[in-house]
């Protein structure tokens, strides 16, 4: 087991590079590096075009979306001091889903479009929906001072916004197919525009999160202790909520509702390499990227040429890991 941040980061980066190579090799017939040994120049050119325009951006996009979710999960768990917190708290994902449903039903945007404006527009409406869901949660919870009330308000807002999304889908049945892919999570529509947008959002979220990492460290000692150390709790909560709202909204807009990555990634880092939030945030982002890229490869390869929604793979793997973790910790209790 690697227990130091430096070697673990190196391992995660090597895994990311190796999985990216595997990602560009997965096609409708399984693993194949046929673009290297194509019979003629025309075939080689077509195969390289498939790799460059479809497989490579999809693999990089899957990693970036996973990194956003892993980072958002680490922020949420540190901010609320709750190991079960994930990026979909505070109505953020439900708000993003409602924004995407509104865009599909009334503006006519398509998640299958590769146009920059469409991708930017979907990210924009998802982010607005995310911020709207978070603001509704904050109003219902009457601020950010009481963590438990904030979490309960997030559950309530999430249920209400999900119901509103379902009503829109029933009223506009033509968007149901697109929304189904969105709800299950998919990386099949990711292109270079998506990769660029998510990379920019990841950089912004990382800078904000790393800037507040010391405050998150202080919060682990309790709110009273953090306040006595000079941490401005209200400001920290607002800034950090904004960071994980941006990360969650961007990832959800581009790849849909992908479960468990943001919850499991910080757990894996803490179990193998307990460290301060300054390193935990970066390691969680890289772990999330590795998890989602690996799940995307499995989704394309297991039943090729048929492809599974990547959200199903992450739910199965993430749920199995959490059940194993719960069983292991229960087994350690004295009888």
pLDDT tens for each residue of 19-78? 998 888 887 666 666 555 555 666 667 777 778 888 899 999 999 999 999 999 999 888
Tokens standing for residue 259: 């479960």
Q: What's the pLDDT at 143?
A: 67
Are 318 and 42 in contact, with CB atoms under 8 Å apart?
Answer: no
Instruction: State the number of CA atoms in the 13 A half-sphere of 231 facing the CB.
Output: 26
Are 141 and 219 in contact, with CB atoms under 8 Å apart?
Answer: no
Nearest to 201, CA basis, from 254, 158, 280: 254
Nearest to 60, CA basis, from 214, 216, 254: 254
CA distances (Å), origin 207, targets 92, 229, 237: 20, 22, 16
* Domain at 309, CATH number: 1.10.3470.10
Q: What's the pLDDT at 335?
A: 37
Per the structure, how many domains does the chain have? 1
Q: What's the pLDDT at 289?
A: 95
Nearest to 69, CA basis, from 194, 211, 254: 254
Q: What's the pLDDT at 66?
A: 94
Are 87 and 247 in contact, with CB atoms under 8 Å apart?
Answer: yes
Count the Cβ atoms, other than its own, within 10 Å of residue 139: 11
Return the C-alpha torsion angle 191, 197, 203, 206, nearest 10: -90
* DSSP classification of residue 325: H
Q: What's the pLDDT at 121?
A: 67
Low-confidence ranges of the chain (pLDDT < 70): 1-3, 28-44, 108-122, 143-147, 329-335
pTM across the whole model: 0.86
Q: What is the mean pLDDT of the chain?
A: 82
3-state secondary structure of 103: helix
Q: What's the pLDDT at 5?
A: 83
Count the Cβ atoms, other than its own, within 10 Å of residue 6: 10
CA distance 90 to 233: 18
Q: What's the pLDDT at 115?
A: 54
Domain span including residue 174: 5-331
């Amino acid at each position: 087991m690697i227990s130091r941040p430096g070697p673990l980061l190196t391992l995660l980066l090597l895994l990311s590079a190796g999985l990216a190579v595997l990602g560009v090799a997965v096609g409708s017939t399984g693993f194949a590096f046929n673009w290297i040994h194509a019979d003629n120049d025309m075939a080689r050119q077509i195969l390289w075009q498939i790799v460059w325009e479809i497989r490579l951006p999809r693999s990089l996009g899957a990693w970036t979306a996973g990194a956003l979710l892993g980072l958002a999960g680490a922020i949420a768990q540190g901010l609320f001091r709750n190991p079960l917190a994930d990026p979909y708290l505070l109505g953020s994902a439900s708000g993003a889903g409602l924004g995407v449903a509104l865009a599909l039903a009334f503006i006519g945007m398509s998640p299958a479009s590769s146009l920059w404006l469409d991708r930017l527009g979907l990210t924009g409406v998802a982010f607005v929906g995310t911020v709207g869901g978070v603001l509704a949660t904050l109003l219902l919870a009457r601020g950010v001072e009481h963590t438990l009330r904030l979490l309960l308000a997030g559950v309530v807002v999430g249920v209400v916004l999900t119901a509103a999304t379902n009503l829109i889908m029933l009223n506009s049945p033509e968007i149901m197919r697109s929304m189904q892919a969105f709800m299950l999570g998919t990386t099949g529509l990711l292109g270079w525009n998506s990769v660029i947008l998510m990379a920019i959002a990841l950089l912004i979220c990382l800078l904000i999160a790393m800037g507040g990492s010391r405050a998150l460290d202080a919060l682990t000692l309790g709110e009273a202790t953090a306040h006595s150390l000079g941490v401005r709790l209200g400001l920290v909560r607002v800034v950090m909520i904004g960071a994980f709202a941006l990360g969650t909204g961007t990832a959800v807009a581009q790849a849909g509702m992908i479960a468990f990555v943001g919850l499991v990634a910080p757990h894996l880092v803490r179990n193998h390499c307990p460290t301060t939030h300054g390193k935990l945030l970066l390691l969680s982002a890289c772990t999330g990227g590795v998890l989602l890229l690996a799940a995307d490869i499995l989704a394309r390869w297991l039943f090729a040429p048929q492809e599974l929604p990547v959200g199903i793979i992450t739910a199965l793997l993430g749920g199995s890991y959490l059940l194993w973790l719960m069983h292991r910790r229960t087994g350690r209790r004295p009888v």
